[in-house]
Amino acid sequence: MSRQNTPSLVVMKSTLSRLPLYYSYISRLEAEGVESVSSVLLAQHLNLNPVLVRKDLAQVSSVAGHPRTGFEVKQLLVDIDNYMGYNKLDEAILVGVGSMGRILLTNSKFAKFGLNIVVGFDKDPYLCGLQLEGKHILPMEKMESLVQRMGIRIGIITVPDDQAQDVCDQMVKCGIKAIWNFAFVPLKVPEDVLVKNENLPSSLAVLAHNLAVKSSTTSKINTLEDN
């Protein structure tokens, strides 16, 4: 049966968070010249349930998988590309060129996933004017005009916790519609702005606690799935 699927717009958040994993692994397969991949194989490599993988892929793939062989690698990559918008590079700005900010600013890995951080802002005058691997660092005052001129919608906050809300407010004022927040404080935003918090301590908490429980009982838990 050759399904001609129109990927649905509505998709589980959990599915969404797994797609980059599939993409990453399938990319490697493609590089190795592999032509097709089964849900079972993917599941094994990524420590997931095969049915789960199938359901995920069904959501995004334009072509049905073939019984006995699985999914076509190239097509799958194209589909995920399209679905996630990896192909149409989203532009973003970053505020707070500290240690974490620098990583994000200079890590080319994000470009592969559709995010292009075009410039970093910082209030430190000694940083402003510098470049990090080609990325300019500008003073905060330039943010508004640049964001509006370029029509940027994504902002990344990597400032110390106590400045996060302030920076957030400025971003919103400039017209930023989605914020990736690395500060460990909840941000208050208007209805129409999205926030995704990146909380390392939370991850840590899950790990450390499971370890503690594990060493007292004998749990069977092994891999904690990603978020």
Binder of residue 87, out of a second copy, DNA, none (CB less than 5 to 8 A by kind): none
Q: Which amino acid is at 173?
A: K
Binder of residue 222, out of a second copy, DNA, none (CB less than 5 to 8 A by kind): a second copy
180 lines the binding site for a second copy (CB under 8 A): yes
145 lines the binding site for DNA (CB under 7 A): no
62 lines the binding site for a second copy (CB under 8 A): no
Hey, which residues between 2 and 41 contact DNA (CB under 7 A)? 3, 12-15, 38-41
C-alpha triplet 207, 57, 52: angle, nearest 5°: 45
| Contact letters for DNA, residues 63-82 (x by CB under 7 A) | -xxxxxxxx-----------
57 lines the binding site for DNA (CB under 7 A): yes
CA–CA separation, 124 vs 134, rounded Å?
A: 19
CA–CA separation, 27 vs 181, rounded Å?
A: 28
Q: What is the DSSP letter of 31?
A: H
HSE toward the beta carbon, residue 173, CA cutoff 13 A: 11
From the CB of 208, what's the least distance to a second copy, in Å? 6
Structure tokens at 140: 């905060």
Please, which residues have CB within 8 angstroms of residue 36's CB and are 6 or more apart in sequence? 66, 69, 70, 71, 72, 73
195 lines the binding site for DNA (CB under 7 A): no
From the CB of 76, what's the least distance to DNA, in Å? 10
From the CB of 192, what's the least distance to a second copy, in Å? 8
43 lines the binding site for a second copy (CB under 8 A): no
Comparing CB distances to a second copy, the nearer of 73 and 115 is: 115
CA–CA separation, 62 vs 108, rounded Å?
A: 29
Comparing CB distances to a second copy, the nearer of 16 and 118 is: 16
SS3 at position 103: helix
| Contact letters for a second copy, residues 86-115 (x by CB under 8 A) | ----x--------xx-xx--xx-xx--xxx
CB 39 within 8 A of CB 22: no
Binder of residue 109, out of DNA, a second copy, none (CB less than 5 to 8 A by kind): a second copy
Hey, which residues between 184 and 203 contact a second copy (CB under 8 A)? 184-186, 189, 191-203
CA distances from 3 to 56, 65, 68 (A): 16, 9, 16
